[in-house]
Amino acid sequence: MKSNIASLPYTLTLKGRDLVTWLDYTVEEVHELLKLSQYLKKNPRSKSLEGKTLGMIFEKSSTRTRVSFEAGMLQMGGHAIYLNSRDIQLGRGESIEDTARVLSSYVDGIMIRTFETEKVTQLASFSSVPVINGLCDTYHPCQALADVLTILETKGTLKGVKVVYIGDGNNVAHSFMILCAKLGMDVVVSCPKGYEPREDIIGKTVDLALESGGSFTLNYDPVEAVKGADVVYTDVWASMGQEQEAFKRLEDFKGYQVNEELLDHASSDVTFLHCLPAHREEEVTAAVIDGPCSAVFQQAENRLHVQKAILQSVL
């Protein structure tokens, strides 16, 4: 089947680019990716990556990241190779530099889901093909783009939308803050003391909000935080690798559960988001995540569409 690449709404300026964090992308480039995501959602069988191969390195387990990247490549006519760290030489001590150089000679792009952010940046430094951050301890950029696409679909706009993230100031929070502030939204983070986002990420978010006309607020009171919220977002309280802290976190996050009582303080048409997997009756009640305000599964589906847009743009 012939490629219909010429009909796709994107420019070649993103070709060859890495995606480590949205701090490296302009507002215009993000909007371009959102536009392409919408196009590919309506036209899912575009064969525009025919003959392309993506290497996918996984040092952290995954459902949505693996399946959405692999399905996305297949739907666009390409191929994805799953590389578990236990099965490749990286897991036996081969350097990031050597791994990058070897894989670059075999594939057209590399996606990595790992722990240390430095692994992603080092891989990108030594790779001759684009590297996509599928998740690291600091950032989760692909998830954030799916979050923003879902907000755009449910609210019809982005600028001026009030988004409230309740929970641990983790990698999901970091990328969500950065991208929403960059796009002119009013961002609020509410968490217990000691669980704030990193100070440097807060500083960058504030700067982005000043540039875009948005805002950033850190509010330790979740009830105050959600007042007038258009979107409320949460994540698990103990992320992958933090299982030993689970009991302490359950205690520390008491009062930060997203439930119907809390959402009564938000906008009457509030949208609830969660990056999944979710622990019902911990960070969110079943009544909320399975209720009428939830766009969680629309958000999960959008991982496929935004990742296809990223792949199409950089490969």
Contact indicator for 169, 205 with CB cutoff of 8 Å: no
Residue 303: active-site member = yes
Q: Which two tokens stand for residue 152?
A: 């755009």
Catalytic residue among 64, 140, 249, 274: 140
Compute the radius of gyration of the chain from its Cα atoms.
Answer: 19
CA distance 20 to 140: 9
Residue 280: active-site member = no
Catalytic residue among 64, 113, 174, 305: 113
Neighbours of 62 (CB within 10 A): 16
CA distances from 47 to 37, 51, 99, 143 (A): 15, 9, 29, 24
Catalytic residue among 147, 275, 305, 307: 275
Residue 140: active-site member = yes
Catalytic residue among 64, 174, 249, 303: 303
Catalytic residue among 143, 299, 307, 312: 143
Residue 147: active-site member = no
Catalytic residue among 235, 249, 305, 307: 235
Residue 312: active-site member = no
CA distance 256 to 175: 20
For 300, the 3-state DSSP assignment is helix
CA distance 156 to 231: 13
Residue 235: active-site member = yes
| Catalytic sites, residue numbers | 113, 140, 143, 235, 275, 303
